[in-house]
Amino acid sequence: MSDLELEVQRRELPSEVARLRLIVRAQQAERDAQMQPLLDAHIEVYAAAIEALIATHREIGDRTDLDLTGETRWAAMWLLAGRCLAISRVVLHDLRGGFTSEGIGSMRALHEAVQLLSAISFHLEEDAVRRWLAGEWIPPREVREIQGRKQTLADERMRELGIEPEGGDLVQLGRDLYGSLSESAHHQRGGFPESVAPALREFVYGPHPDATKRASHVEYGGHLLEEVVIVVGDAFADMLGRDYFTQVVRPLQELMERVRRESPLSDDG
* For residues 9-20, average pLDDT: 97
Cα first-last separation, the chain: 51
Q: What percent of the chain has pLDDT over 70?
A: 93
pTM value is 0.91
pLDDT value at 178 more than 70: no
Q: What is the pLDDT of residues 204-255, one digit of tens each?
A: 999 999 999 999 999 999 999 999 999 999 999 999 999 999 999 999 999 9
Share of the chain above pLDDT 90, in %: 77
DSSP sequence for the chain: --TTSPPPPP-PPPHHHHHHHHHHHHHHHHHHHHHHHHHHHHHHHHHHHHHHHHHHHHHHHHHS---TTSSSHHHHHHHHHHHHHHHHHHHHHHHHTT--GGGHHHHHHHHHHHHHHHHHH-TT--HHHHHHHTT----HHHHHHHHHHHHHHHHHHHHHTT----S--HHHHHHHHHHHHHHHHTT-GGG-GGGEETTTTEE--SS-S-HHHHHHHHHHHHHHHHHHHHHHHHHHHHHH-THHIIIIIHHHHHHHHHHHHHS-SSTT-
| Residue burial 134-158, b: 16+ Cβ < 10 Å; e: rest | eeeebebeebbebbbebbeeebeee
State pLDDT tens for residues 83-102. 999 999 999 999 999 999 99
C-alpha–C-alpha distance, residues 55 and 212, integer Å: 33
Could you tell me which residues come within 8 angstroms of residue 177 by beta carbon, excluding any fewer than 6 positions away? 111
Do 103 and 94 contact (CB within 8 A), yes or no? yes
Q: Calculate the average pLDDT of the chain.
A: 92
- Under a CB-based contact definition with an 8 Å cutoff, are residues 111 and 104 in contact? no
Residue 116 has pLDDT above 70, yes or no: yes
Q: What is the pLDDT of residue 207?
A: 95
- C-alpha 70/C-alpha 66 separation (Å) is 8
Residue 205: Cβ within 10 Å count: 7
The upper half-sphere exposure of residue 9, i.e. CA atoms within 13 Å in the direction of its Cβ, equals 2
pLDDT tens digits, 135-177: 999 999 999 999 889 888 877 877 777 877 676 666 666 666 6
Query: Can you give the pLDDT at residue 153?
Result: 83
